[in-house]
Amino acid sequence: MKQSLLIIRANMLVKNKVILVTGAGSGIGKELVLSLLARGAKVVGIDLRKESLDNLETETNVGKKLLTTHHLDVTDRTAIEKLPEKIIAEHGNIDGVINNAGIIQPFVRVNDLSYEAIDKVMNVNFYGVLYMTKTFLPFLLKRPAAHIVNISSMGGFLPVPGQSVYGASKAAVKLFTEGLYAELADTKVRVSVVFPGATKTNIATNSGASITQEPASNSKDQSFPMLSAKEAAKIIIDGMESNKFQIFTGKDSNFMNILCRLNPRFATNFIAKQMKSLLPK
């Protein structure tokens, strides 16, 4: 038992490790790549948008020994299953996976949401994480130390009207990751789940769900200003290196997590009031 606990609590620093990041071309994913490179890691960037990956390579200008990129869709299981062989050929091994790729749904009620949109959100946000985890876990288990980081959302524990299916997909990521943590407790593979709060990214545009009106919580006098993607990425990598089970980025995520536990109905009504302006009348 003592030996098992020591395995779980040991930390994996990212320096000289090979870390894969999905959704690496923009937003938090891009900043994760930059932060990892700054800390001495070798990075594999995955993204659906090739142009974003090309821009990332140009901006970092570190060469393929430190950064390689792969243009693919995380919902394409066949393509994902071919990745480990390619990455091992490029870098020799794989030590960590950060499942960051994700999309939101159009800001509409479930009654008005198409099945096409539902399938897309679930496929990217949940099955993409599942495919990446299942594919790379056998390789991570062979490493002396490894880490899986899955990005859920504040919406994964807090219901947001107009994002009910998105929240369901992120809640699935939450429970999947926590179950994975328990299953891998006696191995050298660490597992963390991340709950980002409001963050300045282009996720709405990339998801095809552009927001034309700001929610009430984004007013100038809001208690919890939005984090930059750079700040969020730093918190995530810090949490990864300190082997945190749950990582909350932003004071809003921390606060709402506590409020949801203390009074879930009040928390639900509170966020519904804040987000009401985004829903069609």
Name the residues annotated as catalytic: 166
**d(C-alpha 37, C-alpha 250), whole Å:** 23
Backbone dihedral region of 55: left (phi > 0), alpha (psi from -120 to 50 degrees) or beta? alpha
Place of tokens 């948008």: 49
Structure tokens at 154: 């504040």
Task: Give the angle subtended at the CA of 115 by the CAs of 24 and 274, to the nearest 5°.
Answer: 70
Written as six digits, the tokens of 115 are 């099945």
Contacts 24+ apart (CB under 8 A), 120-124: 121/165, 121/166, 121/169, 122/165, 122/168, 122/169, 122/172, 123/75, 124/74, 124/75, 124/169
How far is it, in rounded angstroms, from Cα 27 to Cα 171? Answer: 21
DSSP sequence for 75-134: T-HHHHHTHHHHHHHHHS---EEEE----PPPSS-GGG--HHHHHHHHIIIIIHHHHHHH
